[in-house]
Structure 1
Amino acid sequence: MAREPGKSVRLKLTLSYAGCIMLTGVMLLAVVWLFLLRYIPWAIRDPRQDGRPGMPGLGVPDRSDLLIAFVPKVLVMLFLLLVFGLGAGWLLAGAMLAPLARITHATRMAGNGSLSHRIELEGRNDEFRELADAFDTMLAQLEAHVAEQRRFAANASHELRTPLAITQTLLDVARKDPQRDNGELVERLHFVNTRAIDLTEAMLLLSRADQRSFTRSHVDLSLIAEEATETLLPLAEKSGVTIETSGDPAATLGSFALLQQVATNLVHNAIVHNLPYQGNVWVTTSAGPDSAVLTVENTGEKLSSQLVSTLVEPFQRGTGRIRTDHAGVGLGLAIVKSITRAHDGSLTLTPRPDGGLRVTVKLPAAPDHP
């Protein structure tokens, strides 16, 4: 937005400081002048000038003499106050605005794409220090978000390139061998195309959660957990996994569809990342004074804390799966993290001592119905 150039803040502060000093000086000199007039009300003249006898007296100046002697000194004093006010005000304003100049410099660097620069303002805590610290925090979060988006874009490009390359290869083979049976080719193309569609839909869901473009309503996590369990029960039975669901009603505010996706992704991951036989999945819900909690645990291989900390990154996969036909696209926990964050909640992943994973989603509790 184009604006006309104006006076700098430093100049305005300088003029303000000088004006305050001048006003204080004028008021002080006015008080002195009134004081002098109060105690010299009339002219006192030498008695010898009246021709009366008496001891010679000393002449005291009248008001005109006092005015002649007082005004030049007042003008000189006001001039010195003006010079001092301008000089001291300019230096003082510069010192006061120095932190603002550093913040402005950091803002311009951030605008040019340099997000790694930090202000790191020294000194005690004041308004400028709070502003600088808040700006540094914002830069750190923005830098982390941009880095995450770049990793996501690179990983998404790689993941999408794989099915496209496979499709291109299959089509090239079919074109070079027209006599070949197309039944197997169509089946493989269908599988690859389905995987690409799943990946695209997962990225769209992740983007929707990040934008928080959804309507909030009262949602019971216990009902969502039961529905997700019933939906995935055939997969669990086919995989030899036992699912146990328990818990109390846990109401929160959010999108039913997105929270249903959270529960479905967690239960699905718990099934496919499990023991090859006699695996278990535990789905529980609980409600606190200010929170609604969904916990999904599963048996499986022992996981290190370092590996668990990377599972929420997009396209990160943990241990091997017990079924290769449910490979997923590597966005399950990333979607859960994004949806949880969009609902102002927290996601905690903890490796179980006996193997497997415990995932806890903690959301703000819904207020009581009016």
Structure 2
Amino acid sequence: MDRAPGLSVRARLTLSYAGFLMLAGVLLLAAVWLFLLRYVPDRAMLINAEDNTTHGVFPIRSGLLRVFAPRAAAVLAFLLVFGLVGGWVLAGRMLAPLTRITGATRLASAGALSHRIRLPGRKDEFRELADAFDSMLARLEEHVAEQRRFAANASHELRTPLAISKALIDVARTDPDHDHAEVVERLHAVNTRAIDLTEALLLLGRAERRTFTREDVDLSLLAEEAAETLLPLAEKRGVTLETRGDITLTTGSHALLLQLTTNLVQNAIVHNLPGGGTVWVRTGVRPGGVVLTVENSGERISPELASTFTEPFRRGTERVHTDHGGVGLGLAIVRTIAHAHDGTLALTPRPDGGLRVTVKLPGAPEARNLRPGA
């Protein structure tokens, strides 16, 4: 935004300090003058102490004014100079932290997000502003780094099916005797994966922008719908689905919250024991919100590994070779949808193996009157 040039804050503070000092000086001199007018007589008689004779009447106030006025003007001139010089120095010292913050802001606008102010000294308004700015820079740097990693991963993931498609087409062109049905089938599988990945990226962007209409949603019904939809996959993999929960009302997008629930249940089915595994889906009302919990049996997982599962395109080796491995965005989408609904996502390894995923969301106004369930 173009702005007309004006006085700096330091100059305005200097003028304010000097003006206040001049005003205080004028009021002090006025008080002295009023005191003199009240207690000094207008005229005085000169009396000889030896013979007690009067030698005349002399005016006092007129002479006092001639003496007081130039000295008062000199005092005001000194106060003006002292106020300007002292005010300039004090304003500079007071605004020094703001100068460092401004410099850091310019560096950040130029792309230097790793720079930090780290303003020394005890806590005050400037230190709070600097600390808040440092925290914002840290979050912004982390977000930009995450977006760069995401863009690089997405480019890699999208390039792979395109390269495979090109190779299959080249084979079909150079080898007319090759089985075209097999080529078509493989092209269909590769394109399906590319479409799934593109739709997942679009869903992720939609959730991040929060461009959805909010309505009352019952998470218990979404859990039942997701379990019913994924029951064939669970039966194919020998996994038992157990769904239980109270009426769990929240506010948000029905489609996005259904996608969140479906992703969690599908993830729990796919990353389970080879046979005889179990998935537990529970919903409930808790103080301050509602909770959706999805647990699955499986191999033991370290907390460090579990904390990386929400990163985009994070897939273990066992996921790559599965027939329902997904595109590596399942939990990343869950996290984004939860945050878009002002909720939280927590991943905790189960002591007996497997993973517990807990999504906590704000409750709908109707849910406040419900008694929290187990």
- The whole-number CA distance in structure 2 between the counterparts of 1:118 and 1:289 is 38
Q: Is contact 2:42–2:59 with CA below 8 Å preserved after alignment?
A: no
1:314 and 2:320 are equivalent in the alignment: no
Does 1:207 pair with 2:210? no
Report what 1:250 is aligned to.
248
2:159 to 158, 161, 166: 161
Give the one of 261, 274, 278 matched to 1:276. Answer: 274
In the alignment, the residues of structure 2 paired with residue 336 and residue 57 of structure 1 have an alpha-carbon distance, to the nearest angstrom, of 107
Q: What is the alpha-carbon distance in structure 2 between the residues aligned to residue 85 and residue 67 of structure 1?
A: 26
Write the letter of the residue equivalent to 1:157. S
Change (3 A) 1:54 1:159: same
Equivalent AA in structure 1 for residue 40 of structure 2: I
Alignment partners' CA distance in 2, 1:46 and 1:27: 33
CA apart distance, 1:41: 3.2
2:154 and 2:22 map into 1 onto residues whose CA distance is 67
1:45 counterpart SS class: strand
1:62 is displaced (CA, Å) by 1.5
Query: What count of residue pairs does the alignment treat as equivalent?
Result: 366
Aligned to 2:2: 2
AA matched with 2:339: R
Q: What is residue 146 of structure 1 aligned with on the other side?
A: 144
Give, in angstroms, the shift of residue 319 of structure 1: 5.8
Stretches of structure 1 that go unaligned for 5 or more consecutive residues are none
Q: C-alpha root-mean-square deviation of aligned residues, in Å? A: 1.8
For the residue of structure 2 that corresponds to 1:213, the secondary structure is coil
SS at match of 1:326: coil
Displacement of 1:245: 0.5
Q: 1:37 to 1:203 in 2, by over 3 A?
A: same
Q: Could you tell me how far 1:225 is from its partner in structure 2?
A: 0.3
1:20 maps to what in 2? 20
The answer to whether the Cα contact below 8 Å between 1:242 and 1:278 also exists between their aligned partners in 2 is yes
Take 1:47 and 1:154, find their aligned partners in 2: how far apart are those partners?
105
Q: Structure 1 264/293 Cα, relative in aligned 2: closer, same or farther at 3 Å? A: same
Give the match's secondary structure for 1:282. strand
Matches within 5 A, 1:91-106: 91-106=89-104
Provide the residue aligned with 1:75 in structure 2: 73
263 and 323 in structure 1: CA distance in 2 versus 1, 3 angstrom threshold: farther
**Which residue of 1 is the match for residue 106 of structure 2?**
108
Please state whether the residue corresponding to 2:295 is helix, strand or coil.
strand
Greater shift, 20-29 or 310-319, is seen at: 310-319
Q: Which moved more, 1:310-319 or 1:100-109?
A: 310-319
Matched, 1:357 2:355: yes
Describe the SS at the equivalent of 2:45.
coil
Q: 2: distance between equivalents of 1:322 and 1:212?
A: 31
Q: Give % identity.
A: 67
Q: What is the rounded CA distance, in whole Å, between the counterparts of 1:135 and 1:322 in structure 2?
A: 42
Distance 1:58-1:14 versus aligned 2 partners, 3 A rule = farther
Cα separation, 2, equivalents of 1:234 and 1:256? 23
Question: Aligned pair 1:300/2:305, yes or no?
Answer: no
Tell whether the 8 Å contact from 2:306 to 2:347 is kept in structure 1 after alignment. yes
Post-superposition Cα deviations, 1:342-365, rounded to whole Å, max 9, x if no partner, equal 111111111112111111101111
SS in 2 for 1:6: coil
SS at match of 2:300: coil
User: Does the 8 Å contact 1:274/1:321 carry over to 2?
Assistant: no
**For residues 319 and 223 of structure 1, do their structure 2 counterparts lie closer, same or farther at Cα, with a shift above 3 Å needed?**
farther
Letter in 2 for 1:287: V
Mapped partners of 2:166, 2:56: distance in 1:
119
Contact 2:295 2:357 in 1 (8 A): yes
Q: Distance in 1 between matches of 2:55 and 2:77?
A: 38
Cα deviation for residue 338 of structure 1 reads 0.5
Off by >6 Å, runs of 4+ in structure 1: 56-60
The one-letter code matched in structure 2 to 1:215 is T
Give the match for residue 261 of structure 2. Answer: 263
Distance apart, 1:179 and its partner CA: 2.7
Question: Residue in 2 aligned with 1:45?
Answer: 45
8 Å Cα contact 2:21-2:83 kept in structure 1: yes
Check the 8 A contact 1:351/1:357 in 2, yes or no: yes
Q: Find the aligned partners of 2:319 and 2:153 in 1 and give their Cα distance.
A: 21
Q: Which residue of 1 aligns with 2:328?
A: 330
Distance 1:323 1:225, change over 3 A: farther
For the 8 Å contact 1:273–1:319, the answer to whether it is kept is: no
Aligned to 1:180: 178
SS of the residue corresponding to residue 144 of structure 2 reads helix
- Is 1:341 equivalent to 2:345 in the alignment? no
Q: What letter corresponds to residue 63 of structure 1 in structure 2?
A: R
Q: Given the superposition, is the C-alpha separation of residues 148 and 17 from structure 1 closer, same or farther in structure 2, using an over 3 Å criterion?
A: same
Shift of 1:321: 4.5
TM-score, normalised to structure 2's length? Answer: 0.94
Provide the residue aligned with 1:227 in structure 2. Answer: 225
Letter of the 2:13 counterpart: L
Q: Report the TM-score when normalising by structure 1.
A: 0.95
What SS does the corresponding residue of 1:281 show, helix, strand or coil? strand
- The one-letter code of the counterpart of 1:356 is G
Give me the whole-angstrom Cα distance separating, in 2, the residues matched to 1:325 and 1:138. Answer: 42
